[in-house]
Structure 1
Amino acid sequence: MRSGVLHLRDRIDLGHGRAERITGLRVAHRGSLTARPTAGAGQIAVVQGLTTARVGDVVGPRLPGDERASQFPPPSYETVVDAAPEARGRLYSALSELAEQDPLIRVRRRDEEITVSLYGEVQREVLAAILQREHGVEARFGEVRTARTERLTGVGHALEVKKQDGNEFLATIGLRVEPAPVGSGVTFELECERGSMPPAFFDATEDTVRRSLAGGPLRYPVPDARVVMTHSGYAPRQSHMHQKFNKAMSSTGADFRGLAPRVLAAAVRRAGTVVCEPVHRFVIELPDDAVGAVTSLVGRLGGVPFESGLAGPGVAVVRGEIPAGVIATLQRDLPGLTHGEGVCQTEHDRFEPVREVVRQ
């Protein structure tokens, strides 16, 4: 705790639409953990109830100079992971458990395909070893590829009404999707009356929307969006005396979980998206007589060298930005252009629309 006070039963905001209630507090005191009703600045505490919290999350307002929110940049690469048919269930469970423990591991599942986001080849090798050693799963990793996302370019709305136009679900859902600032995450809001149907149906819709956007209703995830539920409707539970519950005439959460992805995908298509790829900043130290050749290579690969200068006698430094997907090509060709003396460092900066460039 750096500032403020946490109280038992407080409901706190973890960002990106996640809010959790504190169900237990144990404060470190003289070498042990003691149950307390509060935890204040300067104390270390175990907080229970934060089921969606992840390593790196910051609770409460950030203090001046606090850069922790950016200490884990999004992964720039991803790969498909598979295992023998009898081990696929254990594979997903193991990856999900590892992702909860390690913010550098991000897992998503779409249909039967499991995708893991990575920071590089070394992490893939480490992950394979952990799965084998600690979970007994022999994982097969596909080719590492650039992790892309989609950004909404406009506003889109879609609506499906129960028992109309081929809607086989006993649910009415209307969704409007709008672009949101980069890094703001997904927000879900209501324009329809909250009392118009049971809260569980709203919760089922929101949970499904968030999962669908994280996995991508189209090909890639949509990390930032404002989603507004504009219409809702359901078939009330049958309550005739001596009658059993009739699923064919009464809505359940499954109706909303089944319909929401379809309405969401239609709204996203109408809004339009642009596919984005990670762009990295780079710093290259190299002999000064190789600057021209290296900046030319960076340009051919779709990068932008925007600064160069001397770092010492005969040594130059070039800075710029380059799409993550061609960094391997840059690193492969750099030694030949710099007499084996070039050194390149890169760091994730942002996502930008995919650039049409020569990929060698």
Structure 2
Amino acid sequence: MSDRTSARAGQAPPVSGPDRLRNVVLIGCSGVGKTTLAESLALAAGMIGRAGQVTEGTTVSDFEPIETKQQHSVHLAVLPLPWNGAKINLLDTPGHPDFAAELRAGLHVADAAVFVVSATDPVTEPTRLLWHECAEAGIPRAIAVAKLDVARAGFEDILTACHDAFGLGPDTLRPVYAPVLRDGVPCGSVDLLTGRTYGEATESDAAAPSVAAARESLIEAVSGQDDTLLERFLSGEPIDAAMLEEGIRREVHDCALHPALAVTDAGLGAAELLDLVVTSFPDPTHRRGPASGDPDSPLAAQVVRIASDPYVGRISLVRVFAGTLRPDMHVHVSGPGRSTATTDTESDERITTLTSPFGKQQRPVREALAGDLVCVPRLSGARIGDTLGDGEHDALESWPVPEPLLPVPIEPHSKADDDKLTQALARLCAEDPAVRLEQNPDTHQLVLWCTGEAHADAVLDQLRSRYAVHVDTVPYQVALQETFGSASSGHGRLVKQSGGHGQYAICDLQVEPLPTGSGVEFCEHVVGGAVPRHFIPSVEKGVRAQLSKGVATGHPLVDVRITLVDGKAHSVDSSDAAFQTAAAMALKDAAEHASIRLLEPVAAVSVLVPDEYQGAVLSDLSGRRGRVLGSELGDEGMTRLRAEVPEIELARYPIELRALSRGTAEFARTHLRHELVPAAVADRVSGNGRPG
């Protein structure tokens, strides 16, 4: 058993300086065991009891109702863990691709990453892509192999699979703890540098030939990067553990070595991983970028995520990159679209209290040093990604948020829900940057744009459970348009007499189709003053009002030239309203004598897909009436396809593309133009723009 001890159970220790902080993010796909590992680490650190409960009695991870319901993490969870005089801020991220925004936030604020891979399915394609993304960002990484107790593959076999999948060079992926097996099941491990044993491992296990060979191989790999160590190794001189730990720390910081170890659901590997994090992972002062990690420098902090508490209200999770954050401080909030001037008092906030998150609980803290993570309640003016500082410095760079591309139209279930919906949606969008709210001016639908079905379920669940707002989902509509397929003429006659002033107006219109995208032109060629000049604007007003309503299917009418050619007026009974009505009647009459064509919106689509799925994606795009314009090489093994696809065919494309490519492809879309709907599919798409 490790002799490295935690602080008093349930209490994170005070941090003496940034060098005693570690910010580590857990990365892995759903089902690999990240949350189980997080709870094992919390148990080993003395922060929870055996039943997976916080010392005071609440669950430590996945405590939101939607997480229990969906059986996977939805939000970024922060677990401050004391270990060996240090504080480890463990960031447990969702593995489901729908919640990539939470993962991106975790990556942004972490200083190192632990990739959790399952021995039953070592490396999925999304995990491989995330590994390379971390490599490009220079984030130190380790590998924790989970479920080794239920897989037939051996530890070395899994590491070989990871080595090949991640494209690693020789000696860059090395076990630092050798798992000890009893009847093929891991029961303990041996520290290859110190010989320290964990779990049920014994001194004889530490002296086993296989462990000795693994230790010599690790020492050789570490020594090869240091002249002093290499000289000692080649000469056969003893190398003490402190020198080797320093060598591994240096190699991990430089991303030249990725340590690996085994973990199980029963808790094996938890103490070993905590030791590894404290001894080998970088502290915040090693972070790349402009924020120095100096607690005495001007304040530079950033809002990572926002949550709501029924009693406290809004709670902002903040990472302090430089300086020290204290209660009663006044901070300036800056970010995209905000002024950085210190005179902008609307962007000033007062910090009331600071708390440390753990599960559902918030524990008061006196201050947050550079590098630490802390919660700030009632920070009403700040948004996710905003910077808290003194107003003299530029805002910190934010992180990329996946574009929500799945439309979910909603309607309030009742009048009471309608009254609360606007405020609830505003709060929800503030908490989740991956949600985009759209009030479509053409279809008049209220649309929540989400990243996928699981994300949509989570958003709707939060509306119900957190804000007591019930909504109904309705079919998605795209903004179709109408146009004339042939020239036509129309006659509008309004003659009514019912005592007093009557209504009298007659209009004759000619309608001609124009090329797609031309818009609407209104002309007049009235001879002899048949329609008095002061009523011609009324005719145009009536025409344009009817254009917005359409003449056949209820969609706006576009790409036509409408000419007023004749009409009649009465000296007493003609009016502005009468000519508006007559003009609308004439336009509808013209439509009855012409062919009306539908126009549909077309999007420019860019799909980044691994080469092995390129054929399937191309075939699918063709089935969606897409026109593939070309392709270009992306990163290694990836191709970017460019196509034009009718938007009505893209309503569920995020879900279907993910299934088609096993979650490895991504796409972007932008509205391009409207085009004529082919006659063969006009009936299918005419129903208010709903996908058939």
TM range, smaller chain: 0.5 to 0.7
Matched residue SS, 1:206: helix
Matched residue SS, 2:650: helix
- TM-score w.r.t. length of structure 1: 0.56
1:30-41 → structure 2 map (5 Å cutoff) = none
Cα deviation, residue 78, structure 1:
11
Contact conserved, 1:284 with 1:344, CA < 8 A, in 2?
yes
Which structure's residues are more often strand, by fraction? 1
Matched residue SS, 1:178: strand
Q: How many Å separate the matches in 1 of 2:615 and 2:640? A: 12
Relative distance call for 1:178 and 1:172 in structure 2 (3 A) is same
Aligned to 2:649: 326
Aligned to 1:72: none
Matched residue SS, 2:593: helix
Aligned to 1:151: 483
Contact conserved, 1:169 with 1:258, CA < 8 A, in 2?
no
Equivalent of 1:346 in 663, 666, 669? 669
Cα deviation, residue 81, structure 1:
7.3
Equivalent of 2:444 in 101, 111, 116? 116
Matched residue SS, 2:556: coil
Aligned to 2:630: 307
Q: Which amino acid aligns with 1:345?
A: A
1:75-224 → structure 2 map (5 Å cutoff) = 107=441, 115-116=443-444, 121=449, 142-160=474-492, 170-193=504-527, 195-219=529-553, 220-224=555-559
Matched residue SS, 2:571: coil
Q: Deviations over 1:326-355 (max 9, x none)?
A: 213322111222221101111111212224
Q: How many Å separate the matches in 1 of 2:479 and 2:655? A: 20
Equivalent of 2:574 in 251, 259, 282? 251
Q: How many Å separate the matches in 1 of 2:527 and 2:475? A: 48
Give 5+ residue unaligned stretches, structure 1: 1-76, 89-103, 109-114, 126-137, 238-249
Cα deviation, residue 212, structure 1:
0.8
- TM-score w.r.t. length of structure 2: 0.31
Cα deviation, residue 317, structure 1:
1.6
Percent identity, please.
25
Q: How many Å separate the matches in 2 of 1:318 and 1:107? A: 31
Contact conserved, 2:410 with 2:447, CA < 8 A, in 1?
no
Q: How many Å separate the matches in 2 of 1:286 and 1:251? A: 64
Relative distance call for 1:258 and 1:82 in structure 2 (3 A) is farther
Q: Deviations over 1:193-231 (max 9, x none)?
A: 373343342222110101110221222111221110111
Q: How many Å separate the matches in 2 of 1:261 and 1:221? A: 13
Contact conserved, 2:550 with 2:557, CA < 8 A, in 1?
yes
**Higher relative contact order structure (alpha carbons within 8 Å, sequence separation ≥ 6):** 1
Q: Deviations over 1:295-335 (max 9, x none)?
A: 11111222122323432321122111111012133221112
Q: How many Å separate the matches in 1 of 2:480 and 2:616? A: 29
Cα deviation, residue 232, structure 1:
1.3
Aligned to 1:263: 586
Matched residue SS, 2:591: helix
Relative distance call for 1:318 and 1:208 in structure 2 (3 A) is same
Q: Deviations over 1:153-182 (max 9, x none)?
A: 211101245669xxx952211011111233
Q: How many Å separate the matches in 2 of 1:235 and 1:83? A: 50
Cα deviation, residue 273, structure 1:
1.9
1:218-233 → structure 2 map (5 Å cutoff) = 218-219=552-553, 220-233=555-568
Matched residue SS, 1:116: coil
Q: Which amino acid aligns with 2:603?
A: H
Relative distance call for 1:139 and 1:170 in structure 2 (3 A) is farther
1:1-40 → structure 2 map (5 Å cutoff) = none
Contact conserved, 1:78 with 1:117, CA < 8 A, in 2?
no
Q: Give the root-mean-square deviation of aligned CA atoms.
A: 3.9
Q: Deviations over 1:28-82 (max 9, x none)?
A: xxxxxxxxxxxxxxxxxxxxxxxxxxxxxxxxxxxxxxxxxxxxxxxxx997978
Contact conserved, 2:480 with 2:601, CA < 8 A, in 1?
yes
Bigger Cα displacement from structure 2, 217-226 vs 180-189: 180-189
Quick check: which has more Rg, 1 or 2? 2
Q: Which amino acid aligns with 1:193?
A: V
Relative distance call for 1:255 and 1:144 in structure 2 (3 A) is same
Q: How many Å separate the matches in 2 of 1:263 and 1:196? A: 16
Q: Which amino acid aligns with 1:209?
A: V
Matched residue SS, 1:307: strand
1:234 aligns with 2:557: no
Aligned to 1:52: none
Q: How many Å separate the matches in 1 of 2:471 and 2:410? A: 10
Q: Which amino acid aligns with 2:485?
A: T
Q: How many Å separate the matches in 1 of 2:577 and 2:568? A: 14
Q: How many Å separate the matches in 1 of 2:596 and 2:651? A: 28
Q: How many Å separate the matches in 1 of 2:536 and 2:548? A: 18
Cα deviation, residue 235, structure 1:
1.5
Give 5+ residue unaligned stretches, structure 2: 1-406, 419-437, 451-455, 457-469, 497-501, 685-690
Contact conserved, 1:205 with 1:260, CA < 8 A, in 2?
yes
Matched residue SS, 1:235: coil
Q: How many Å separate the matches in 1 of 2:552 and 2:637? A: 51
Relative distance call for 1:226 and 1:319 in structure 2 (3 A) is same
Relative distance call for 1:105 and 1:263 in structure 2 (3 A) is same
Matched residue SS, 2:490: strand
Contact conserved, 1:288 with 1:310, CA < 8 A, in 2?
no
Matched residue SS, 1:274: strand
Q: Which amino acid aligns with 1:116?
A: H
Contact conserved, 1:117 with 1:147, CA < 8 A, in 2?
no
Q: Deviations over 1:89-131 (max 9, x none)?
A: xxxxxxxxxxxxxxx86646xxxxxx42788736xx9xxxxxx
1:272-291 → structure 2 map (5 Å cutoff) = 272-291=595-614
Contact conserved, 2:539 with 2:580, CA < 8 A, in 1?
yes
Q: How many Å separate the matches in 2 of 1:139 and 1:212? A: 32
Contact conserved, 1:161 with 1:172, CA < 8 A, in 2?
yes
Q: How many Å separate the matches in 1 of 2:409 and 2:577? A: 31
